Amino acid sequence: MPELPEVATIVRTLAPHVAGRRIIDARILSPLAAAGRSKALAAHLTGRLIHALRRRGKFIVFDLDDGVLCVHLRMTGKLLLDAPPGKFTRAILELDSATLLFDDVRQFGRLSWSKALPPNVARLGPEPFDLVPRTFAERLKARRGRVKPLLLNQAFIAGLGNIYVDEALFRAGIHPRAQASHLSKRRAESLHAAVVEVLAEAIAAGGSSISDYVDAQGRSGGFQRFHRVYGRVGEPCPHCASQIRRIVVAQRGTHLCPRCQRL
């Protein structure tokens, strides 16, 4: 599941091959990939020059000579460079120098063209690396809900998903159901430090590959080996050796150490 570190890795591996290149042809094979606007999407993309590629939250943004292409991979989406098309190829962008495939088994991922950054991207919250600890703590203090759903809320902070929220909360020793506004300044700042730390480590490891994720060159990430709670139900907590448990918070599978993360 591509979250910030996975998207960052994809952008890093893809950018040198697409920046400055032209889209010669765009074929949308599945209407779902373009949210039912296949023809319009193909027409908007064909002939466009790609100025730059960047990440915003979990979105991959192609800055074009006319408009922007925003890609969200959701669960199983992939952008693959010079790979053979397969059963799950949903779109093909033929560049002047390479072929870019959008593969997506579950078809939750979306490609969209717009003249300017679309509202769902424009209204994303701050990037984790741009936030200073004090601001993060103040933002937490001002909210009512529980901390996990807040961290998953892309308008509160952009780029975190289920894996890194669970990992960051574990590192900070905070229960996912803790009230955000009740966290002390010290605890809130340590949560910010945990978020930044786990994201940086994951980026350095090329992201986490649980089932589907690979970068633009088809390479798996390595950070799943360093997950401390995510997907480790029943295993000993690396800190206190209690069994890692799975609970449900805001309809999300949530992994935690019941001893290190008390309510």
Partner DNA sequence: ATCTATTCCTGGCTGC
Partner DNA sequence: TGCAGCCAGGAATAGA
Of residues 230, 226, 134, the one with CA closest to residue 188: 134
Q: Quick check: 252 binds DNA (CB under 7 A)?
A: yes
Catalytic pick from 2, 5, 128, 176?
A: 2
Query: Whose structure tokens read 């807040």?
Result: 150
DSSP H helix total and E strand total for the chain:
7, 10
Q: Exactly one of 29, 92, 205, 250 binds DNA (CB under 7 A); which one?
A: 250
**d(C-alpha 25, C-alpha 196), whole Å:** 39
What x/- string results for residues 52 through 91 when contact with DNA is judged by CB under 7 A?
A: -----xx-------------x-xxx---------------
Question: Contact 72/109 with Cβ under 8 angstroms?
Answer: yes
User: Would you say 51 or 182 has its CB closer to DNA?
Assistant: 182
Number of other residues whose CB lies within 10 A of the CB of residue 240: 10
In single-letter form, the type of residue at position 244 comes to: I
Q: Is 3 a catalytic residue?
A: yes
Smallest distance from DNA to CB 55, Å = 12
Which of 6, 48, 55, 58 is labelled catalytic? 58
| Residue 245 engages DNA in binding (rule: CB under 7 A) | no
**Is-catalytic flag, 197?**
no
Q: Could you tell me the two tokens for 136?
A: 């993060």
Indicate if 58 belongs to the active site: yes
Residue 37 near DNA by CB under 7 A: no
- Give the SS3 label for residue 124: coil
- Considering the complex, state which of residue 32 and residue 196 has its C-beta at the smaller distance from DNA: 32
| Residue 216 binds DNA, judged by CB under 7 A | no
How far, CA to CA in Å, does 176 sit from each of 63, 66, 158, 216?
37, 43, 18, 33
Helix (H, G, I), strand (E, B) or coil at 8: helix
Nearer to DNA, 22 or 143 (CB): 143
- As given in the structure block, the two tokens for residue 30 are 């599945």
Cβ proximity to DNA, 161 vs 207, nearer residue: 161
Place of tokens 């601001």: 135
Nearer to DNA, 46 or 153 (CB): 153
Catalytic annotation, pick one of 141, 143, 245, 252: 252
Give the nearest distance from C-beta 208 to DNA in angstroms.
11
Tokens of 220: 């798996």
Q: Would you call 85 a catalytic residue per the annotation? A: no
Binding site for DNA (CB under 7 A): 1, 3, 32, 57-58, 72, 74-76, 105-108, 120, 143-146, 149-150, 152, 154, 161-163, 250-253
Please list the active-site residues. Answer: 2-3, 58, 252
